Amino acid sequence: MKLTKENIKFIDTYLENSNIIHIDIRMEMLDHIASVIETKMENGDKRDFYFVFKDYMVDNKQSLLNNNKSFIKATDRRLTKSIFHELFNLPCVFTFLGLYILFQNVNKIIDINNFRSWLGALPLIGFVIFGIYYYIKVKRSNLRRFSALERLGLIYAMLFNLFHLCWNVAGLKSTISSFVLYVMTSFALTLLVAMTIVSKRMIYEFQNRFKSLA
């Protein structure tokens, strides 16, 4: 016996209210629960859908919530790994070297003391641009509640704050040598390139995976 659209909607709402917010994990849990209930009903459980569902949730809700946590952890691992790998690919290696050489050469023309303050602020400007790009892209694609995309946003926010902290609180702008400043700035901008590539790939992956089902 197959569950009705209303039954499916009921399970979906229940899971959403249980703080399983990401569509990709919720749909898998929903399918699992629905499959278990259908099997039970096919095997002779004559009770109404609601009672079979309730009994299942009493026994398994905690385990489902743990699944949610482990899924998010796996997603974070996957994203971090992707960004790290991307840093060693040609586009990022060239970006890093190109920026470093550019900063060195510009330094020959412009006095370092005038140059220093805006150079250090470049990663922050870059992060803001990336944030705007990311928000528009995800919103346009209507993919807001997919785990990998939301977690990427979180990684972005964490890095933004880290740079902000290093730059302003630690007072790096006045104390570090120009070599460290160039390396840091080049790396921060390269990291942004890596994140942009990874986010583009993720958006493409989710669009592809779900486009035929919209």
Partner 1 sequence: MHKKIMYICVVMSNSKLYKGSLNTIILKLLNEQDKMYGYEITQKVKELTKGELKITEGALYPALHKLEAQGLLDVEVAKVDNRLRKYYKLTENGTKETANKLEELAEYIKTMQTLVNPKLA
Tally Cβ neighbours within 10 Å of residue 76: 16
For residue 19, state whether it binds partner 1 (rule: CB under 8 A).
Answer: no
For residue 43, state whether it binds partner 1 (rule: CB under 8 A).
Answer: no
CA distance 201 to 48: 44
Q: Tokens 């809700």 correspond to what residue?
A: 61
Which of 18, 67, 107, 141: binder of partner 1 (CB under 8 A)? 67
In terms of CB distance, is 72 or 99 closer to partner 1? Answer: 72
For residue 114, state whether it binds partner 1 (rule: CB under 8 A).
Answer: no
For residue 28, state whether it binds partner 1 (rule: CB under 8 A).
Answer: yes
Six-digit token pair at 93?
């290696």
In angstroms and rounded to an integer, the radius of gyration of the C-alpha atoms of the chain is 24
Provide the H-helix boundaries in 141-177.
147-164, 172-175
Which of 54, 77, 164, 200: binder of partner 1 (CB under 8 A)? 77
User: Could you tell me how many residues of this chain bind partner 1 (CB under 8 A)?
Assistant: 33
Please state at what angle helix 23-42 crosses helix 49-87, rounded to 10 degrees.
150
Applying CB under 8 A, the residues found at the interface with partner 1 are 2-5, 8, 24, 27-32, 34-36, 38-39, 60, 63-64, 66-67, 69-71, 74-75, 77-78, 81, 209-210, 213
